[in-house]
Amino acid sequence: NAGVTQTPKFQVLKTGQSMTLQCAQDMNHEYMSWYRQDPGMGLRLIHYSVGAGITDQGEVPNGYNVSRSTTEDFPLRLLSAAPSQTSVYFCASSYSEVDFFGQGTRLTVV
Amino acid sequence: KQEVTQIPAALSVPEGENLVLNCSFTDSAIYNLQWFRQDPGKGLTSLLLIQSSQREQTSGRLNASLDKSSGRSTLYIAASQPGDSATYLCAGGNYGQNFVFGPGTRLSVLP
């Protein structure tokens, strides 16, 4: 049972480049979310989805897009990377208010 | 807007000690509270979820309590072991809203 799988684990981007962080879960959870984790700030919610075809903004959505075409997948797109988006990104899926997290993607924007 | 804080940011204890990690939140209308463990370079693992009708939850050597009136939750770890070394985060959620995370307490249990 893979749980929540994120790819890639590490990524370096140049300012202005775009990329997609992948997230897949095999637990058939309806609720999925993306967080970023910065030192001393805990996790902050970027976007979330309550089911296929439904997405909404979290606390820090600017510069990021999401879509949810299937229950399993919830990709996060960076449109034009900026140094302020250097962070560790976590994807999570939830069932009955318990969250299951992926291993994270460490992104550096130079 | 719910805000969650955790003090101290870091804690070192000798093996075998019982210890308490603290979590404070600003909105007493909190619906549920979750404690997580994060190992270096890894994702978060849910440890305990206290739902709105509950005051505490227990799992093995861990006990978490929730006091809405005082705006506090505590995670009690009995007989600490070096394997308990990790960062512990709490997250509070109001009804119908997403969890808000605290910054975490980095725990080191020394052999």
The answer to whether the CB of B64 falls within 8 A of the CB of B74 is yes
pLDDT, tens only, B37-93? 999 988 899 999 998 789 999 999 999 999 999 999 999 999 999 999 999 999 998
Cα angle: A93, vertex A94, A96; to 5 degrees: 165
**Cβ contact B45–A41 (<8 Å):** no
**3 state DSSP class of B98:** coil
Closest CA to A35 of A9, A59, A56, A52: A59
Q: In degrees rounded to 5, what are phi and psi of residue B84?
A: -80, -10
- Asked if A83 and A75 touch (Cβ cutoff 8 Å), the reply is no
Residue B96's pLDDT is what? Answer: 77
Query: Nearest-CA distance from B81 to chain A in Å?
Result: 24
Q: Does residue A55 register a pLDDT over 70?
A: yes
Gap between the Cα atoms of A10 and A33, Å rounded:
19
Tokens coding A34:
């993306």
Q: Is pLDDT at A99 greater than 90 in this prediction?
A: no
What was the pLDDT predicted at A1?
A: 61
**Contact (CB, 8 A) for B11 and B108:** yes
Please indicate whether, in this complex, the C-beta atoms of A98 and B49 are within 8 angstroms of each other. Answer: yes
Burial of A62 (0-12, 13-18, 19+ CB in 10 A): exposed
Mean pLDDT, chain A, rounded, equals 94
Q: Do A101 and B93 touch (CB under 8 A)?
A: no
Band (pLDDT 50/70/90 cuts) for residue B8 is very high
Say what the pLDDT of residue A35 is. Answer: 96
Report the range of poorest mean pLDDT among A13-27, B12-26, B44-58.
Answer: B44-58
Contacts of A89 in chain B (CB under 8 A): none
